[in-house]
Chain A
Amino acid sequence: MSLNKYSTAALAVLVAVIATASANVSAHTGATGIVKERMDLMDRIGDAMKVLSGIFKREHAYDADAVAKSARTIRDHAGTAMTKLFPEGSANPPSVAKPEIWRNWKSFKALAKDLETYSAALADAAPRGDTPAGGMPSGPAGHGMMGGSMMGQGMPGSMMGGQQAPTSDMLTVMPPRALFGHVTATCASCHTKFRTEKHEH
C-alpha cells in the first residue's frame, strides 16, 4: 500500500519535472535559462534580418515601414540588451558561444554596441529608399568595387580601405542599403569571432 503511495508521489514529481523542463525547452533543443533567453533573442534578430534580406535582395518591393520596424527590432535586441544575457562562463552546451567572449569582453561589447548604432541608423534612414536595381554596383558599405579604395593610390595600408567605421555624421546621410551592409558585417564579424559553428545540413 505504502509502496503505491510512494510510486504515485514519485510519478507526480516526475510529471512536474518533465512539464517544467518542456516549458523551458523550445526551438533550441535542450536550451534552458539564460542560454535559451539569448537564443530567443538571436532568433528575433534573425527574423528581422530575414525581412530586411527579402527587401535588399529585391524579392519584395522596398517598404520603408518594414525596414524601419525590423531595424528597430534589431536595435532593441543589441547593445546591453544582448550583452547582459552573456554572464561570464555561460558557454556550456547547448550554447554555441565561445569562451573567447569573456576573454575579449571589450570587443564583444563593442560589436554589440555597433549593432545597436547601425540598426538605429538604418531605422532612421529607412525613408531614404533604396538605389534602383541594376544601378551602381554597391558594396555592402557603399564602396565602389573598383574605385581604388581598397589598395593603391599610394596610401599606406589602403589595401584594407573600406574598413574604417563611418562617423556619426556619415551615418545620418548613408543610404539604407549601405547601412544594412554595416549591420550584416557586424553580425558576421561577431559570429566569426565568438560563435562555434553549428551544422544544420
Chain B
Amino acid sequence: MKRIAVLMCSVALVAVLMAVLLWWWPINPPAQTNFPPGDVNRGAYLARMAGCIACHTDIKGNGKPLAGGAPIATQFGTFHPPNLTTDSRFGIGSWTLPQFATALRAGVSPSGKPYYPAFPYPFYGALSDQDVADLWAAFKTVAPVEQPSPQQDLSFPFNMRFGLKLWRTLFIKPSRSTESADKSTRWNRGAQIVNGPAHCGACHTPRNLLGARIETRKFEGASNLPGGGTSPAITAAALKKAGWKSSDITHALRYGLTPKGDSLGGSMGEVVSEGTRYLSDDDLNAIATYLLDEPTK
C-alpha cells in the first residue's frame, strides 16, 4: 500500500516537473532585424490572399476591419481571432516589425507564447522577408479599434497553452520550398501561393486527432471543419474527375461560382468574397495551373 502511494507521488511529481519544464521551455526563434522597406499596396494584396482580413474581421457581425474575427468553433474549443488593428492596447499597435515577423512565420507572440495552429502560421513560414515587410506596411495603415480580444476558450487539456510546445515539436517542420525547376514560372508561382499565404491545405487537407495536417493525404478534403463543415478534395485527380478545367477554378475563385452555376457557400464563400476575388488574373491562373498539376505524394 505504502509502495503504491510512493509510486503515485513520484509519477505526479514527474508530471508536474515536466509541465514546469514545458512551461518554461523558451521557443522564441532568433529575432531577425533586417527587413527591406515595405510596399503598402503589395501588403494589402497579400493580406487578402493570406486571409488575414477574412479571418480577423467579424464579417457576419458587421465588425470593423481586422478588429477581431467571428468565433471559430472546433472540437478543441472556440478560438477567437484577435484584434490586429493598430490600437496599442488591444491590437498590435505597439509591436515591432521583427515581432510581427516572428508571430507570422514562427507562431510565437512578442511575449514568447506559442499561438494555437488555428492561426495558419505553419503556412506563413513560407513568406519572404519582403512579403512580411509589405504586410507590416499595410497593417500599419489600419485604423485603431479599441476592442479587446476575447480569451481563447479551449477545453482541457488544450487550454494549457504550453502544451503547444510539444505539438510544435511533433508537427511543425521547417517550411520547405515546393518549387520545381522542371516546371513553368506560372506553376511555381501557383505552388508558392497555394502552399504559402493562401493556405488551401488548412481546410482541404484532413487533420489527425491532435489537429495536425496529415501530409500524406494532402488536399484530399476534410470533415470536421470549424462549425462542423466539410471540404471537398482538391487534388489534381479529384478536380479532373469532377470536370474542373483551369477556367472553372479561376472563375470559382473570382466569382464564387461552381461550373454548375451554383455558388460556393459556407466558409469558401467567405474565402472568395474577402480574399481570392481580389487576386490578379495572373495569380488565379497560377493557382489553377498548380492545382491541376499538383505532384502526387
Give A contacts to B, CB under 8 Å: 46-51, 53, 56-59, 137-140, 143, 145-148, 150-154, 156-160, 162, 180-181, 184-185, 187-189, 191-193, 195, 197, 199, 201
Contacts and interface: CB of A to CB of B under 8 A. Distances in A.
Given A53-B255, A148-B41, A197-B230, A137 B269 contact: no
30 contacts: A46-B261, A50-B261, A51-B261, A53-B255, A57-B248, A137-B281, A137-B282, A139-B277, A140-B255, A143-B278, A145-B278, A146-B41, A146-B280, A150-B48, A152-B44, A157-B65, A157-B142, A157-B143, A159-B142, A181-B277, A184-B255, A188-B263, A188-B269, A189-B273, A191-B263, A191-B264, A192-B269, A193-B60, A199-B230, A201-B242
A193 to B, nearest CB: 6
Contact of A156 (B40, B143, B247): B143
Interface in B263-284: 263-267, 269-270, 272-273, 277-282
A185 B229 contact: no
Given A152-B41, A188-B269, 15 more contacts: A50-B261, A57-B251, A139-B278, A140-B254, A145-B45, A146-B45, A150-B44, A151-B138, A152-B44, A157-B143, A160-B53, A162-B278, A181-B277, A187-B256, A192-B265
A196 to B, nearest CB: 8
Contact of B255 (A56, A59, A137, A150): A56
Contacts of A181: 254-255, 277
B141 interface: yes
* Minimum-distance CB pairs A-B, first 4: A50-B261, A151-B44, A191-B265, A192-B269
Contacts of A145: 45, 278-280
B186 interface: no
Contacts of A191: 263-266, 269
Interface of B: 40-45, 47-48, 53, 57, 60, 64-66, 138, 141-143, 221, 229-230, 232-233, 238, 242, 247-248, 251, 254-257, 259-267, 269-270, 272-273, 277-282
Among B238, B247, B248, B261, max chain A CB count under 10 A is at: B261
Contacts of A199: 230, 232
A84 B68 CA distance: 35
A158 B44 CA distance: 10
Contacts of A201: 221, 232-233, 238, 242
B256 A185 contact: yes
A53 B260 CA distance: 9
A197 B143 contact: no
B265 A195 contact: yes
B57 A160 contact: yes
B40 A148 contact: yes
B100 to A, nearest CB: 15
Nearest to A191: B265
A90 to B, nearest CB: 19
Contacts of B273: 185, 188-189, 192
A62 to B, nearest CB: 15
A201 B254 CA distance: 22
A188 B280 contact: no
A147 B57 contact: no
B40 A159 contact: no
B141 A154 contact: yes
A145 B254 CA distance: 12
Given A192-B269, A199-B232, A150 B45 contact: yes
A178 to B, nearest CB: 12
Contacts of B41: 146-148, 150, 152
Contacts of B254: 139-140, 181
A175 B230 CA distance: 36
B269 A150 contact: no
A163 B138 CA distance: 18
A46 B262 contact: yes
Nearest to A147: B41
